[in-house]
């Protein structure tokens, strides 16, 4: 019985690796204007704007910058260096996320 339980536990760990519950998502450039209101004031954040809505985080930036997205529990969802323009990250799971862009940190609720 104990041996069967160990085997079952090992199989579960192989199927659902610890620390990989949220898959790494990909940013994509977009030309459409975000319909949502900006969560940030571009004048106070060196022109960087973060938008939320429809399960998507949209970022508009005037320069190349490092972006990191975490769950509210601190688990990394995505990390990328994005160029100037507007990019979006489609996240399938609803929840609260933390977006870090350079020195800017913003809570985003999807």
Model pLDDT, residue 39: 79
Domain count, the chain: 1
What integer pLDDT is reported at residue 8 of this predicted model? 53
Report whether pLDDT(30) > 90: no
Residue owning tokens 């995505």: 78
User: Considering the domain boundaries, does residue 102 fall inside one?
Assistant: yes
* pLDDT for residue 9: 52
In a domain, 48, yes or no: yes
Q: What is the CATH number of the domain that holds 46?
A: 2.60.40
How many Å apart are CA 22 and CA 49, to the nearest integer? 25
Residue 10 located in a structural domain: no
Q: Rounded to 5, what percent of the chain is helix, strand, coil?
A: 15, 45, 45
Looking at the whole model, is its pTM more than 0.85? no
52-107 confidence digits (pLDDT tens): 988 899 999 999 999 999 999 999 999 999 999 999 999 988 899 999 998 899 99
In a domain, 16, yes or no: no
| Residue range(s) defining the domain that contains residue 65 | 22-109
Residue 12 has pLDDT above 50, yes or no: no
């Amino acid at each position: 019985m104990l041996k069967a339980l160990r085997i079952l536990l090992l199989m579960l760990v192989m199927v659902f690796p610890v620390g990989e519950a949220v898959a790494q998502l990909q940013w994509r450039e977009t030309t459409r204007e975000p319909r949502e209101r900006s969560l940030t004031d571009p004048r106070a954040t060196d022109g960087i704007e973060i938008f939320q809505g429809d399960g998507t985080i949209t970022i508009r930036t005037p320069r190349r910058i490092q972006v990191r997205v975490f769950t509210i529990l601190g688990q990394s969802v995505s990390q990328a260096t994005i160029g100037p323009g507007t990019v979006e990250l489609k996240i399938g799971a609803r929840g609260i996320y933390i977006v870090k862009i350079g020195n800017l940190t913003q809570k985003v609720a999807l």
